[in-house]
Amino acid sequence: MDGKEPNAYARAGVDVDIESQASKIMYEASKETFKNRDGAIGEIVAPFDDFAGIKMVSAANLPEGTFFSVGFDTAGTKVEIAERVGIHDTIAFDLFAMVCDDAVLRGGEPVLVGSNLDIKSLGTDERYLPVIRELAKGYVAAAAEANVAVINGEIAQMGSLMTGYGDFPYHWGAACVWFARKEKLFTGMEIKAGDSVVMLREHGFRANGWSLVRKIFGEAYGDAWHEKDFGESTLGIAALTPSVIYSRAVVALHGGYQTEGTCEIHGVAHITGGGVPEKMMRVLRPSGLGAKLTDLFEPPEIMQHAQSIGKISDRDAYRAWNMGQGMALITPEPQKVVEEMQAFGIEAKVAGTITKTPGVTLVSRGTEQAGQTLSFEI
């Protein structure tokens, strides 16, 4: 830095001066997201401009029937893929997809995000600040896609408690505050037999199922599996495909805290851990209904590759990964939903119907036996 002897804390691996620089980088990025909530619920009030200063929202005069909640999640071990390939500006999409897309499951509108970035060490010079800048760049882009403001954040240097791949391992978690109107909340009882299931396409693994993915690729190609040629790039680059963030589009269709919406939506399933069967059964459980899914999206090429070389059955694949389906919208207006989603640049299709018979059946698009019908009981 300036040639000065490091202080005792820096000699222990935590340089507060470098940490302050990193915090300022993330704060400047968060300020760029404040405009996402201008004039809407969650508009940021900051009495003075400083990364350590208080940021607030006004809760005055909220009407009766206003509800809000908060959800928590992380980008999981997908950060290891970023560490392997040295690209860090897409991980925020995986983080925001996990917390913001969960907000719409109950009919809410994601509004505010705060994150906690745990790292091993920033060292005593500026060598890792470019990684922080990449994370900040992704922060801004993902927040715009989700239409949320980043109100707060924390960077914690964890030392030997943090392990991972390479010399800058990290873990990134977040909380998302969402607001809703009572009459727009989903209870599960709005779903009716005969409703259609519209699936929204996902092109990667999102942030779930990575323990199995890493195991398969590690056993097949060794520790440097991310360097293996795959298509026109590498397996690592393909694995890093960022998650699609659906919440902004779903809020527009269903209606947010201050908007009425354009389509009638009866339920939403976010296809994450547990895959299509678990997430569909979770949203259907209150009504006791089921789903018959006959026209799902084909899994992404890298997912098919993992299933094939890992000898994973179609049943297990659909329970571990999203298999190309990122979110399901249950609606009596399927074609309108498909058209509205396409206007947001999100590929959607009518994948099936809600049935009176409990449980989920789907026609597999997996590599084991495409076309077979798989049944899952609630």
Cβ density class 196-229: b for 16+ within 10 Å, e for less: bbbbbbbbbbbbbbbebbbebbeeeeeeebbeee
Give percent helix, percent strand, percent coil of the chain, each to the nearest 5.
35, 25, 40
pLDDT at 5 over 70: no
Q: What secondary structure does DSSP assign to 69-90, as a single string?
A: EEEEEE-GGGHHHHHHHT--SS
44/141 same-domain check: yes
Which tokens belong to 203?
Answer: 């092109």
- Sequence-separated (6 or more) residues with CB below 8 Å from residue 224: none
Is 324 within a domain? Answer: yes
pLDDT tens digits for range 169-198: 999 999 999 999 999 999 999 999 999 999
pLDDT at 2 over 80: no
CATH of the domain at 214: 3.90.650.10
**Residue 289's pLDDT band (cuts 50, 70, 90):** very high
215/179 same-domain check: no
Q: How far apart are CA 171 and CA 133, in angstroms?
A: 16
257/358 same-domain check: yes
- Select from 184, 219, 243 the last residue of a domain: 184
Is 359 within a domain? Answer: yes
Name the pTM for this structure. Answer: 0.93
From residue 169, alpha-carbon distances to 128, 157, 198, 215 in Å are 11, 11, 38, 19
Q: What counts of helices (H) and strands (E) characterise the chain?
A: 12, 15
HSE, side-chain direction, 13 A CA sphere, residue 134: 14
Q: How many domains does the chain have?
A: 2
308/337 same-domain check: yes
221/350 same-domain check: yes
169/242 same-domain check: no
Its domain, for residue 131, covers: 8-184
pLDDT of residue 1: 44
127/222 same-domain check: no
Backbone CA torsion sign across 316, 92, 245, 284 = positive
pLDDT at 307 over 70: yes
Residue 156 DSSP SS3: strand
- Only one residue has tokens 């994601």, namely 110
- Give the rounded distance of the alpha carbon of 140 from its chain centre: 15
CATH of the domain at 64: 3.30.1330.10
Q: Taking CA 112 as the corner, what is the angle to CA 255 and CA 66, rounded to the nearest 5 degrees? A: 50
Q: How far apart are CA 44 and CA 29, in angstroms?
A: 14
Q: How far apart are CA 181 and CA 108, in angstroms?
A: 8
Is 104 within a domain? Answer: yes
- Select from 184, 207, 239 the last residue of a domain: 184
Total residue count of the chain as it appears in this document: 378
Q: If you average pLDDT over every residue of the chain, what do you get?
A: 93
50-59, 170-179, 286-295: segment of lowest average pLDDT: 50-59
292/328 same-domain check: yes
**Residue 58's pLDDT band (cuts 50, 70, 90):** confident
Which tokens belong to 110?
Answer: 């994601």
205/153 same-domain check: no
93/150 same-domain check: yes
Is 56 within a domain? Answer: yes
- Sequence-separated (6 or more) residues with CB below 8 Å from residue 36: 143, 144, 147, 148, 149
- Select from 153, 184, 215 the last residue of a domain: 184
Q: How far apart are the first and last CA of the chain?
A: 60
pLDDT at 110 over 60: yes
84/153 same-domain check: yes
Question: Crossing angle for the helix pair 210-221 and 301-309, nearest 10 degrees?
Answer: 60
216/343 same-domain check: yes
